[in-house]
Structure 1
């Protein structure tokens, strides 16, 4: 079947040169069972018209797409892992498979993989991904997308018929290969590698490539390194605010997991908060709480400092410092915007939005209400008063503790595209993705190969997205 008219392949990453990647071959798997194909994401790049057999050929066997990258590329980078520098990173169980233009806005999109086999950067690993890991990536990325977080999308999950040995789940366990769609796989760690190698020429080339490719509206504006740092700081501040507003804990905010377009990606030990708790961690191995929920803004700021260090040879340190020092103000503004949007309201002013945000966080902390329940019950502000006061969480809103937030909410108008008649708001409780639910979804897959609960959950997430993001 032909590709749709939205198919516009690209080979942009090849222009950087071979110092940035290693051509690799995908693993050969004993089976290819298509478990998930994201038609919404596929329509953005012209792959929605493929048959399932064609889909597997390209996203399971990795036959190159027409006029796309001729071979997969394992990208090179370094990074700090829990703040310990590691020069032996790079794509160890994934690669850049293809690039194309987004049919919606013309921006460059990458198809990256996970579990596609060994590369020169595998460091003794098997290069594989467990099927449970693939299911968790689907759930994380689709849930975050529906909540308005700037995230990669899981494009495809194909079960591969291998039995993997893992120490953190019952083994042997089923395997899969995943493809994700993201605007960039260039990370802070990409810059760190070149800085560590003292390769100024390549660092200059990377900065120019990033500005020309991803931020063309500011390409040629003053010093390129300064402009890049300015853009990345704003985008990362926005992402951190979106994580916090979604009650999401990424779990592994190493410098190789922060990219230059400010997109959340690479979902391992993620969690959503049951209720407000700044010390809540996602990874069992994060014993110090370095990447706890409340420390995520600090974690990304630390990563931005590492990016600034890489750019010092290319610009004035005072210019970088000024931008870095402005991060708290940028983060506060982004957080205020997130809270207004999460409550389905129209912004009034910076001061009003700040007061609304402050009152929201205070109530979440003091009341102990389920994190997502507040935003669901009061979505649309005063228009949802009857629904909130007659729902299962009404007792949280009956006392003086809620009064400061109620007064703030009453001062706002609902967003103009609000539709409280959506089926989503006829529910008594919101769609959530707590760890117990993830395990309930996985268990019938593991025991009976029953995917119906996952399908039903994804349908609920899509219903939520239509209600919360009607213009998406």
Structure 2
């Protein structure tokens, strides 16, 4: 049984200005923790072959598959608003690209496979906990229908990594439409290399925005496309209570996928000021700030593209501003449309935005759980007799009652039957999310050598919109109210 990747490595062909050839560093005693069989099949890979000694050796970085051209990509980035002109893949190595069964080009990358020229004195390794966290959460996001990188496999290395303490090491095999970031453009723009910016933009247009190629200005059309995808992506994050945690420009993929799951987490009780990341001391990347920061990041991309938007600087700036000004409209439309569906409304009305914001305000004021409030609204939309579970989520149940009266008046103007409405709401309001305490429990068990909680949680998260009795313990409130939960970047 042989492992075969049908590689076609377009990014490697761009040249060494864009990356550095980098061979993964072997590890002592790799063993497979998890392989994503469905994703493997979608990529045209044999999942059974990935579980052989040869496959595990490839997933650990101990051997290279035929056709691989391993590279570490160059990029820069604004980190918490401060520009760093050279970052790059410090612990990730792109093996190559495959075209999946649907004809989509996908990167296959090893994360934690050893040092690169961009490691900045780091060891290039990853600990088991962050690897399994990214596996769980990225696959949960995919099941929640959020554009995201995916996890193909996790392998333990048999070696420790040293952070504050010694931790078991692991390698994640990550799959993405590409790993090209806003920071990739910044790397070349900061060096005044407009030819490389254009070459990179042409590559991204061909790979992600082919419709832009026929526009009167393909680079403006490309910028418009990235802005639209990011606006819609962040709106979808907010509709499931997701907080990315580290929205640096080097963590924003130009493909429109969610990338880098270090300090991410999910809301329990709704609070728009929520910050989870231990290093986000000023709340720059708080839940409610995510759209504003995305727009800020996109402005940095626009700066890189200015010479290609118009040869006259003033006209180029004007064009960039026009594109960026459309972000808010696209985001607001996607945000309201998504929340409209979450509260059971099908036909848009002008008062819907105010109705949505009133609910969120009352949830924040009365400590209501985000996921359960919206999930239970489906039952309440079908019958007012089902209001009890939602009322109990509010510190003062009367706060829900005042809103629900207005909501039911609005529902009366909708054409759908109650059962149909509930089914539509349940299809967008998950019953199960990667709640922070569940993820931590699974990771703690894995660190102690027990993967069963990780496996069970991963199975539950694969069908988040279904009510399944065997996973009912995952669909309730946290056992104790979340106080000051903190996440860490994992490096």
TM range, normalised to the smaller chain? Answer: 0.7 to 0.9
Partner of 1:370: 369
TM-score norm. by structure 2 comes to 0.85
Partner of 1:115: 112
Deviation at 1:297, TM superposition (A): 1.0
Deviation at 1:219, TM superposition (A): 1.5
The answer on whether the counterparts of 2:161 and 2:167 sit within 8 Å (CA) in structure 1 is: yes
Paired with 2:58 and 2:361, the residues of 1 have a C-alpha distance of 49
TM-score norm. by structure 1 comes to 0.88
Going from structure 1 to structure 2, the CA distance change for 1:360 and 1:218 (only over 3 Å counts) comes to farther
Aligned pairs for 1:199-348 within 5 A: 199-315=193-309, 316-343=316-343, 345=344, 347-348=346-347
Paired with 2:355 and 2:151, the residues of 1 have a C-alpha distance of 34
Q: Matched residue pairs, number?
A: 454
| Structure 2 unpaired stretches of 5+ | 310-315, 469-491
The answer on whether the counterparts of 2:431 and 2:465 sit within 8 Å (CA) in structure 1 is: no
Deviation at 1:9, TM superposition (A): 3.4
Partner of 2:179: 185
The 10-residue stretch of structure 1 (327-336 or 39-48) with the greater mean CA deviation from structure 2: 39-48
Paired with 2:421 and 2:96, the residues of 1 have a C-alpha distance of 37
Going from structure 1 to structure 2, the CA distance change for 1:126 and 1:347 (only over 3 Å counts) comes to same
Partner of 2:151: 154
2:438 counterpart of 1:437: yes
CA offsets 1:302-346 (integer angstroms, 9 cap, x no match): 101101111111112212111111111111011123224445x57
Going from structure 1 to structure 2, the CA distance change for 1:363 and 1:405 (only over 3 Å counts) comes to farther
Deviation at 1:410, TM superposition (A): 5.2
Paired with 2:252 and 2:235, the residues of 1 have a C-alpha distance of 14
Aligned pairs for 1:39-50 within 5 A: 39-50=37-48
Partner of 2:127: 130
Going from structure 1 to structure 2, the CA distance change for 1:242 and 1:414 (only over 3 Å counts) comes to farther
Deviation at 1:349, TM superposition (A): 2.8
The answer on whether the counterparts of 2:432 and 2:465 sit within 8 Å (CA) in structure 1 is: no
The answer on whether the counterparts of 1:251 and 1:291 sit within 8 Å (CA) in structure 2 is: yes
CA offsets 1:86-126 (integer angstroms, 9 cap, x no match): 1220000002112112323x221111221110000000001
Deviation at 1:71, TM superposition (A): 2.3
2:460 counterpart of 1:460: yes
The 10-residue stretch of structure 1 (393-402 or 76-85) with the greater mean CA deviation from structure 2: 393-402
The 10-residue stretch of structure 1 (409-418 or 8-17) with the greater mean CA deviation from structure 2: 409-418
User: What's the secondary structure of 1:71's corresponding residue?
Assistant: coil
Going from structure 1 to structure 2, the CA distance change for 1:267 and 1:163 (only over 3 Å counts) comes to same
| Structure 1 unpaired stretches of 5+ | none
Going from structure 1 to structure 2, the CA distance change for 1:394 and 1:22 (only over 3 Å counts) comes to closer
2:20 counterpart of 1:22: yes
2:191 counterpart of 1:197: yes
Deviation at 1:357, TM superposition (A): 3.7
Partner of 1:77: 75
The 10-residue stretch of structure 1 (408-417 or 18-27) with the greater mean CA deviation from structure 2: 408-417
RMSD over aligned Cα atoms: 2.9
User: What's the secondary structure of 2:227's corresponding residue?
Assistant: helix
